[in-house]
Amino acid sequence: MLIPARFRVICFLIATSTMICSCTPSVLPSEELKKIGQCPKIHAVHNPPRLAFTFFPEEGFKGEAIGKYFGPVGLFTGAWSDIRSAQALGDKLIQGFGLQDPVLRVKSRSIDLLARENFRNIQPYDSQLPEDDLGNLKQKLDSDMMMDFKTITWVLASNPKDPKRYLDSFRARSRLIRVEDGKVLWEGECGFKKHDPKSAPTIDEMMANQGALLKTLFQEDADACAGEIVGQFLGRASR
């Protein structure tokens, strides 16, 4: 069966993000976890997303569903070899509905979950920080360690089995890093959630009430992701 071009691009996007992340989370010995819990302060930071929010509508999408909110967006048939076109649509949703990178919620939720496990030394750093600028991190953070969070995949896409219905996909990575030399002490990531294609919403349902359902779905993705990451950090199953 010939796979439509738009779905080949979606598969490529997801496969690429999967290769970027490690498949097996690292495990911290209980003795190391105890030491980490005794550190004076650990900053929780968020990095820029690996890929911008990407929206893949169905083939021949004329844009009425989002055009009536944000103005004309045109006909997008045959443009799916260009991921930038889909990212431009995603940017329209971000600007029109005030969407936030779900990793912000992953970070805050992870801090709350870890505090319940007596890791009360993890404090949020509100500004976005680039992950590769070690010198800048040393200047900005007054802590020996940091826990960073980064969006790897953030996609809204037409369902291949029912193109009028839409699926949300989100993945993120977290690491514990020693600030002094940038050594990664631990790394974990959350996976994609499972969908029931029959109950997936339409684009109109997603966009209604200033994108209320769209926001709720990505909030749910973020909460599940935080539980999975914290479970991995503690050496347990997802919470």
pLDDT averaged over 10-residue windows placed end to end, the chain, 239 residues: 46 47 70 93 94 85 59 47 80 93 98 97 92 72 91 93 92 94 92 83 93 96 97 81
Examine residue 80 and state whether it is found in any structural domain, yes or no. Answer: yes
Contact 152, 52 (CB under 8 A): no
Examine residue 153 and state whether it is found in any structural domain, yes or no. Answer: yes
Note the pTM of the prediction, 2 decimals: 0.84
Examine residue 128 and state whether it is found in any structural domain, yes or no. Answer: yes
Residue 208: is it exposed, middle or buried by C-beta count within 10 angstroms (0-12/13-18/19+)? middle
Closest CA to 103 of 51, 141, 47, 55: 47
Examine residue 239 and state whether it is found in any structural domain, yes or no. Answer: no
Examine residue 238 and state whether it is found in any structural domain, yes or no. Answer: no
pLDDT at res. 61: 64
Token pair belonging to 30: 């209980």
CA 114 – CA 75 distance, rounded (Å)? 46
Residue 219: is it exposed, middle or buried by C-beta count within 10 angstroms (0-12/13-18/19+)? middle
Count of other CB atoms within 10 angstroms of residue 91: 15
pLDDT at res. 46: 95
pLDDT at res. 20: 47
Examine residue 224 and state whether it is found in any structural domain, yes or no. Answer: yes
pLDDT at res. 83: 81
Q: Are strands 54-56 and 122-128 parallel, antiparallel or unpaired?
A: unpaired
Question: What is the domain count for the chain?
Answer: 1
The boundaries of the domain holding residue 161 are: 5-22+30-233
